[in-house]
Structure 1
Amino acid sequence: MTGEALAAGAARWTARITPNRLRVGLIAVVSAAVYAVLGLVKLATYRASTFDLVIVDQAVRNYAHFRPPYIPMVGAFHDRGLDYLQLADHFSPIYALLAPFYWIHDGPASLIVAQALLFAAAIPFIWLFTRRMLGTAPAYLVAVAYALSWPVAQAIAFDAHEVMFVPLLTAIMIERYHAGRLLPAFAAMGALLLVKEDMGLTVIGFGLYLFLTGDRFRGMCCAAIGLGGVMLTRGALISLLGGESQDFWAYGHLGPDAPSAILTLLRDPLNALLLPFSEETKVDTLFLLAWPTLLLCLLSPLSLVALPHVLERMLSDREPWWRADFQYNAFTVVILLLAGVDGLSRLLRRIKRADDRSLKLAWSAGALVVALTLVPKFALDQLYHPAFYKAEEIRTESAAAAVAAVPTGVTVEAANSLGPALTSRTTVLLWTGQPRGAAWVAADTARWQFPFGSPDDQRAQVDRLVTEGYTKVFDRDGYVVLRRT
């Protein structure tokens, strides 16, 4: 290649690096760094958890070594064997895309960094959509509002979860469709089906949105694809791969299966309408989902994309699915935020003030202010408190010593807080008090650990293991390591 050609190529790349791209890229990079810090500090100070960090770690490590995605931790927990497949627990083959991170660093820290990057990667598409609808300045405000949003904060605080892929994919799906770039839009939609067995519900919602906005043929096709995806994964693939289709059936109050639950809802339509609002926790979560858009997401048909997944949660009998504390709200955060942008645009057109820049800027500033006011109530609040970075020094040193007492390559039943530190060099099973036959046990008897009710329960289990032939090889500050002799 000649010098002139190289210079021309460099000039073209330089021309593409516009000030807006630099600023948006900076927002995304800073956001990813903040998210990674939150997860890495928790990992380093033994505040990460075996559920779900070790589960995802075991699956991705197997993908990285070109093996089936076995998750022995879940297999042992459900008494289904150590060769239990992640795809039988949740249908998430998209985890295979994270394997290259393990070629760089083989450990759960790679998952935390990858998750941070994926959440931040949605920011450019949110910015593009908002700039097209409202202008450049509002686009920056909305992008930062997403970066600070409480659903993202709670998902980041949950160590690792398949939801990490959803904000990026839904942002691509909506923004690229709005830009008339159908191939990447529908490719992202298809990729959603590889994230989790229920993401077909979001695809159905996208189909409803297309149908109601005039793209009826594509809308019907998308709805059919989404319905087919849910039926195929939940009704066939999970069972064929060794799972149980009833594992995540959370509608026993409506019936033992989907047809009976649907019939129950149809027999009493009023109760069906009131059920998503039947608990104060549900109402709180629904309000918190809409409030960051100043409720304008309710004026946009884009909200239909989120509706099926939200109803799946609010109609269930599992309180964690309703609450704002967990990661489930990140499945719909981008959809509702962009619906707020679209809702404002529609409102301005209706009142014949579509060109009113001041109103667009005011709403975007309001969305950012709401995001800021919610920060102290959720997980990002930890980052500006020095105590978050200063774990109990003695306990941390003892935890590290306990982990070091477990040899490499063994199978170990570990307390929920110790599993992430052991998973890169051992086969970790969750210590539940039920005998799994592991040669090693690592317990934390000084604080509450899932699934134990109290430290006293753990201490009783340690005493039982000693009477059954285990020997203590480490015991300090509540951390106990036992070896079967």
Structure 2
Amino acid sequence: MTLAADPEAPVVRRGLRYRHPLWLALIATLSASAYALLGLVRLATYRASTFDLVIVDQAVRNYAHFRAPYIPVVGAFHDRGLDYLQMADHFSPIYALLAPFYWIHDGPESLIVAQALLFAAAIPFIWLFTRRVLGTVPAYLVAAAYALSWPVAQAIAFDAHEVMFVPVLTAIMIERYHAERHLPAFAAMFGLLLVKEDMGLMVIGFGLYLFVIGDRYRGVCAAAIGLGGALLTRGALIPMMGGDHNDFWAYGQLGPDVPSALLAVARDPLHALLLPFSAEAKVDTLFLLVWPTLLLCLLSPLSLMALPHVLERMLSDRDPWWQADFQYSAFTVVILLLAGVDGLARLIRWTRRTELKLTWSVAVCVIALTLVPRFALDQLYHPSFYKGDEVKSAAAREAVAKVPSGVQVEAVNSLGPALTARATVLLWTGESHGSPWVVADTSRWEFPFGSAEDQANQVNRLASEGYAKVFERDGIVVLHKQV
């Protein structure tokens, strides 16, 4: 048993040459260009951040030079040493695939371009799936809706993250399974396990979906693989590499660990059921996830694939996980969009109203357009975005030029990305790590400080410990100490 499909829709046979590759290439190229432009402008105008762009940059640069993926910026932050492995933080060995980009250009710009290409790479598979189910015109409209979607916009606007691999992998997995090409579908499923330690939950969701639609053997196998992958990475591999599996335990309201949380849910299931709706930000995000499909994703069992990851976010006690402002919603955007396609096909089968195909597809594209001004893609058509804070940018350019190449530097969150290609960057915090160079900002609040005043006080402390100011302009300060 497979997804519901319109019997009048064109059948896509193996080996068939499609008539639309140039249009698809154009959509994907324009999308990737817009995504890359957004990220590169943010980097050039000092709006990227050390946490997380420098983290990924350090890991991929080490892969590119055939070294272990050390991320000293995180090791210093957690006081675990500069030889801290990226896979001890998040289990993302898939980053090694980005190493060739650094052979072309050794800098965080390569990450931004690679991320843009990966997000756009999901478009052909979304088109193929939708064309098979609804027809050609709806396929283009749904592909455009994905390209404009707010989860993708928010992900590309916040540095670079492992989520860049998920839309294309989930699109391949769903589309190839629907085309009864099981080998590439399950290869993509295994690829998800290399993206992040919690992707086993998504694989469990895929197994649940397969079981519900009648493919029970493969469903049970997929769920077992997902569970095994999650237990292996969190319970064994991350601790073995020097990490702590409790670093990202965000369910203190349920208990200190998984067994106690499960027990709490069993004791008070109503409390657990209400948790995903316990804050306004959670409700807003949940609505924004399903609204772009006019709620029709809820008619498809394919939504079960997204359910474990959505619950992982909404049951947590960490505000950023709930909100729509960061990259987390991009993990499930393709799943829910294609579930909307399948949900519509099921609705048409029940009502026999085939005219809904075009109506819904146009509405989905229109909804994506109406959400653009609320999210990050809106910046691309405002001239002020390309200028940024010109005062800060001028001071920042001069400041980072004072830091020599090949040194260790503690940099304020927004300036680390400008130095990471030629220096070992650590995040500047309230605790000194003894680096010979420090680049600080005393006029604007920066993570992880509590206020700009705290940042100014830290600069004063460093000066009292023997650091000399070698540059100061518009609040940006460069300090140096002979070591």
TM-score (norm 1): 0.95
- Partner residue, 2:439: 442
Secondary structure of 2:20's counterpart equals helix
Q: How many angstroms apart in 2 are the aligned matches of 1:152 and 1:254?
A: 31
Deviation, structure 1 residue 394: 3.3
Moved more, 41-50 or 19-28: 19-28
Moved more, 138-147 or 385-394: 385-394
Report 1:321-336 matches (<5 A).
321-336=321-336
- Partner residue, 2:9: none
**Which residue identity does 2:91 align to in structure 1?**
F
Moved more, 56-65 or 312-321: 312-321
Structure 2 gaps of 5+ residues are: 1-14
Deviation, structure 1 residue 398: 1.5
Residue deviations 1:395-433 (CA, integer Å, cap 9, x gap): 212211100100100000000011000000000000002
Q: How many angstroms apart in 2 are the aligned matches of 1:398 and 1:123?
A: 40
Moved more, 462-471 or 266-275: 266-275
- Partner residue, 2:75: 75
- Partner residue, 1:228: 228
- Partner residue, 1:311: 311
- Partner residue, 2:388: 391
- Partner residue, 1:370: 367
Secondary structure of 2:449's counterpart equals coil
Q: How many angstroms apart in 1 are the aligned matches of 2:282 and 2:457?
A: 38
Moved more, 293-302 or 258-267: 258-267
Secondary structure of 1:365's counterpart equals helix
**Which residue identity does 2:470 align to in structure 1?**
V
TM-score (norm 2): 0.96
**Which residue identity does 1:445 align to in structure 2?**
T
Q: How many angstroms apart in 1 are the aligned matches of 2:282 and 2:414?
A: 30
**Which residue identity does 2:146 align to in structure 1?**
Y
Q: 1:423 aligns with which of 417, 420, 423?
A: 420
Secondary structure of 2:477's counterpart equals strand
- Partner residue, 1:86: 86
Count of residues paired in the alignment: 468
- Partner residue, 2:209: 209
Q: How many angstroms apart in 1 are the aligned matches of 2:274 and 2:450?
A: 34
Q: Does 1:475 align with 2:482?
A: no
Deviation, structure 1 residue 18: 5.4
- Partner residue, 2:455: 458
Residue deviations 1:24-81 (CA, integer Å, cap 9, x gap): 1100000000000000000000111001100000000000000000000000000000
Secondary structure of 2:250's counterpart equals coil
- Partner residue, 2:12: none
Q: How many angstroms apart in 1 are the aligned matches of 2:166 and 2:391?
A: 39
- Partner residue, 1:199: 199
**Which residue identity does 2:462 align to in structure 1?**
L
Deviation, structure 1 residue 16: 8.6
**Which residue identity does 2:277 align to in structure 1?**
F
Q: How many angstroms apart in 1 are the aligned matches of 2:195 and 2:154?
A: 19
Q: How many angstroms apart in 2 are the aligned matches of 1:387 and 1:86?
A: 36
**Which residue identity does 1:360 align to in structure 2?**
K
**Which residue identity does 2:456 align to in structure 1?**
R
- Partner residue, 2:61: 61
**Which residue identity does 2:175 align to in structure 1?**
E
Q: Percent identity?
A: 77
Residue deviations 1:149-171 (CA, integer Å, cap 9, x gap): 00000000011000000000000
- Partner residue, 1:267: 267
Structure 1 gaps of 5+ residues are: 1-14
Deviation, structure 1 residue 454: 2.0
- Partner residue, 1:115: 115
**Which residue identity does 1:417 align to in structure 2?**
S
RMSD: 1.1
Deviation, structure 1 residue 393: 2.7
Q: Does 1:173 align with 2:170?
A: no
